[in-house]
Amino acid sequence: MITETSYLLEKALGVPSQLRFISALKAGYIEIADITKQHLSRIQILMNKYEDLPMNLADASLVILAEELSHG
């Protein structure tokens, strides 16, 4: 995810945006959340339940993150 974010930043805004992103990571302003095996089961449930929307991995991951952080 860090690599993809960096790529998209560079593509849209240039190398300076990548460097600011890396600096923010180093400074602890951005926290990287891990997806566990338990999360994968929940992600499958969510993707199946909302496939008509559709819900993809990225969408389901945000739901998992909100659930983990206890934010609606």
* pLDDT value of position 71: 67
Write down the pLDDT at residue 37.
92
DSSP codes joined into one string, 1-69: -HHHHHHHHHHHH-HHHHHHHHHHHHHTSS-PPPPPHHHHHHHHHHHHHTTTS---HHHHHHHHHHHHH
pLDDT per residue as tens digits for the range 9-18: 999 999 999 9
Predicted local distance difference test score (pLDDT) of residue 33: 86
- pLDDT the model gives residue 69: 86
- The tens digit of pLDDT for each residue in 29-69 reads 998 888 999 999 999 999 999 999 999 998 999 999 999 88
Q: Output the pLDDT for position 1.
A: 76
